[in-house]
Structure 1
Amino acid sequence: IDQLYNWSMKNLMSFNPSKCKALTITRSRSPVDFNYTMNGVALEKVVDFKDLGVSVDPSLSFKDHIYSITSKANQVSGMIKRSI
Structure 2
Amino acid sequence: MPEGQDAVQRELDNLMKWAHVNLMRFNKAKCKVLHMGQGNPKHNYRLGREWIESSPEEKDLGLLVDEKLNMIQQCALTVQKANCILGCMKSVTSRSRELILPLCSTLVRPHLEQLRPALGASAQERHGAVGASPEEAVKMIEGWSTSPVNAG
In 1, Cα distance between equivalents of 2:90 and 2:77: 20
Alignment counterpart, residue 52 of structure 2, candidates 20, 27, 43 = 43
> Which moved further from structure 2: 2-11 or 39-48?
2-11
Percent pairwise identity = 33
Across the two proteins, how many residue pairs are aligned to each other? Answer: 82
Q: What residue in structure 1 maps to residue 68 of structure 2?
A: 59
In 1, Cα distance between equivalents of 2:27 and 2:85: 37
Q: What residue in structure 2 maps to residue 4 of structure 1?
A: 15
Large movers: runs of 4+ above 4 Å? none
In 2, Cα distance between equivalents of 1:48 and 1:9: 29
Deviation at 1:17, TM superposition (A): 2.0
TM-score scaled to structure 1, two decimals?
0.82
Cα deviations across residues 5-57 of structure 1 (Å, max 9, x unaligned)?
A: 1111112232122321111121x1x3202111110101011111112321121
In 2, Cα distance between equivalents of 1:6 and 1:78: 50
Cα deviations across residues 42-79 of structure 1 (Å, max 9, x unaligned)?
A: 10111111123211211222221111011111122123
Secondary structure of the corresponding residue to residue 59 of structure 2: strand
Which segments of 5 or more consecutive residues in structure 1 lack a partner in the other structure?
none
Alignment counterpart, residue 24 of structure 2, candidates 13, 16, 19 = 13
Task: Considering Cα pairs closer than 8 Å and 6+ residues apart, tell me whether 1 or 2 has the greater RCO.
Answer: 1
Select the structure that is richer in helix.
2
Select the structure that is richer in strand.
1
Amino acid at match of 2:60: D
Alignment counterpart, residue 40 of structure 2, candidates 17, 31, 38 = 31
Amino acid at match of 1:62: M
Q: What residue in structure 2 maps to residue 69 of structure 1?
A: 78
CA RMSD of aligned residues (A): 1.6
The higher radius of gyration belongs to: 2
